[in-house]
Structure 1
């Protein structure tokens, strides 16, 4: 019997700038495209929620016609993948629709994953028992040192590394900045920076293959 393709939900930002409108930001495109290609190679079906491959109109249309969280049913997805870019620090943090989808996927054993700043979407997500999803779990995400090296530490609205530690996460990072680094803790898969997108997606594939 043919198997049903795995369903992946990509979450991308709709935020176009920092607090200061003169400093643009948004989705870090490769964090979507590198993962998309890995999942595509494995025959997974994919949906993008919230805003792209610039030279490809068909790909761009996927970003121009994204779904809202309230238009989606978490039961339709085997995994959720939070992409990065500094824009996510604003619209991922307190979106209750995303939090509900993430909680429901996680609690039924689906894969919750993020790369780079995507973990901002996990910071305030709580489980049904009221605890933070990240509490007590090994994970990674864009480091404060990388913010400083990227010269945006004075633009970002908060220190995501510090915030995730406050929520009880067992935060880990590579010795060197900007190298590929991923952490897997059961059904939570996280990557540290843009260069980690492909490896993070491969770890998601591996986790899904065990289900």
Structure 2
């Protein structure tokens, strides 16, 4: 009896200690992440020099296409187009002299996904931009688009694209005609779903032997375990099935593939570079843009995965201390959580260390 009591006592003490450690870690981890900057919510276009200053003369028009689907199949999960993937590309095109129209399979006001944690100044400016909001509230039905009016087309991601992009005949016709006349085609994240069923005049799939990026199986399945039963296909699998050379980067980090006039990106973090790659393919040098704190964090994380923790620390120090450039701590912290979800405990602790190191560098810089 006494032994059982002793075992129970030590068991309860052990569990209590674990709970205390977990709670303490939670408070410590939360303390590393800065509170949201509420001032950014009111950002206007005039507050962004990239868009409002040194305006470039009109160069033409680009069409952005978003999904009309608001539910992932029969799952009941809500979806739509990803705001950040539209807003950042939209302003890149506008800043470089292009007018942007927005279309969707059904026209009208499509569903949108807004993730507060990913929102930055350009995204809030988009929400506060009456012109941009009019265009997204009154999208052009894709079968009414006059394709000749545009120099390029850009397919915005969002999981809804998996359902209404692949089999849309109007989308297929525009893509085929653009590709065969050397107009620029861009697609990011789930946006490349628009490409999978396009057949060229020679009878071959558009994607055959093309270097292509898109949302990967690993990225999809980590967040939605039942993705294979929800979506009509996994995007990476279908791109490969069509004969493409799938170009996969690190999870949730920038990766863009550029194959002649076809430019594709793996995920939302690829949007800036993809849009600027489209500008280059159109024959122009992209306008100078101050790199965002999120992009700097992506550089840190990419360095970590390729060259290890020590090199990543050097990049953090160089960016923050030497160059006085911001690094998004929250994104680095998120990747430590991704490491846990993947069962990579070593990477988890290393990324926690990088998160803490970034915070320390920022504190040094402020002094």
| TM-score exceeds 0.5 | yes
1:159 aligns with 2:213: no
1:208 aligns with 2:254: no
Aligned counterpart, 1:44: 98
Aligned counterpart, 1:131: 204
Indicate conservation of the 8 Å contact 2:57/2:97, yes or no. Answer: no
Task: Give per-residue Cα distances to partners, 1:134-185, cap 9 Å, x unaligned.
Answer: 11111100000000122254333311101110110111111x2000110101
Counterpart selection for 1:190 from 256, 264, 285: 264
Aligned counterpart, 1:91: 164
SS in 1 for 2:77: coil
Task: Give per-residue Cα distances to partners, 1:21-77, cap 9 Å, x unaligned.
Answer: 521011011110110111111011111101374444442221121111221222211
The TM-score normalised by the length of structure 2 is 0.54
Aligned counterpart, 1:199: 273
Indicate conservation of the 8 Å contact 2:58/2:99, yes or no. Answer: no
Indicate conservation of the 8 Å contact 1:140/1:192, yes or no. Answer: yes
Counterpart selection for 1:105 from 178, 196, 199: 178
Q: Name the larger-Rg structure.
A: 2
1:80 aligns with 2:80: no
Change (3 A) 1:165 1:108: same
Query: Higher helix proportion, which one?
Result: 2
Following TM superposition, by how much is the alpha carbon of 1:127 offset from its aligned partner in structure 2, in angstroms? 1.0
Partner Cα separation in structure 2 for residue 149 and residue 54 of structure 1: 30
SS in 1 for 2:202: coil
Partner Cα separation in structure 1 for residue 59 and residue 210 of structure 2: 28
**Structure 1, unpaired ranges of 5+:** none
Following TM superposition, by how much is the alpha carbon of 1:190 offset from its aligned partner in structure 2, in angstroms? 0.4
SS in 2 for 1:35: helix
SS in 1 for 2:101: strand
Q: Which moved more, 1:61-70 or 1:180-189?
A: 61-70
Indicate conservation of the 8 Å contact 2:252/2:267, yes or no. Answer: yes
Q: Which moved more, 1:49-58 or 1:27-36?
A: 49-58
Aligned counterpart, 1:180: 254
Indicate conservation of the 8 Å contact 2:257/2:263, yes or no. Answer: yes
**Structure 2, unpaired ranges of 5+:** 1-55, 105-109, 113-125, 285-367
Counterpart selection for 1:30 from 80, 84, 107: 84
Counterpart selection for 1:71 from 144, 152, 171: 144
Change (3 A) 1:12 1:142: same
Kindly indicate whether structure 1 or structure 2 has the higher relative contact order, using CA contacts under 8 Å at least 6 residues apart.
1
Partner Cα separation in structure 2 for residue 68 and residue 163 of structure 1: 26
SS in 1 for 2:178: helix
Change (3 A) 1:30 1:184: same
Question: How many residues of Structure 1 are paired with residues of Structure 2 in the alignment?
Answer: 209
Partner Cα separation in structure 1 for residue 127 and residue 58 of structure 2: 30
SS in 2 for 1:113: strand
RMSD: 1.9
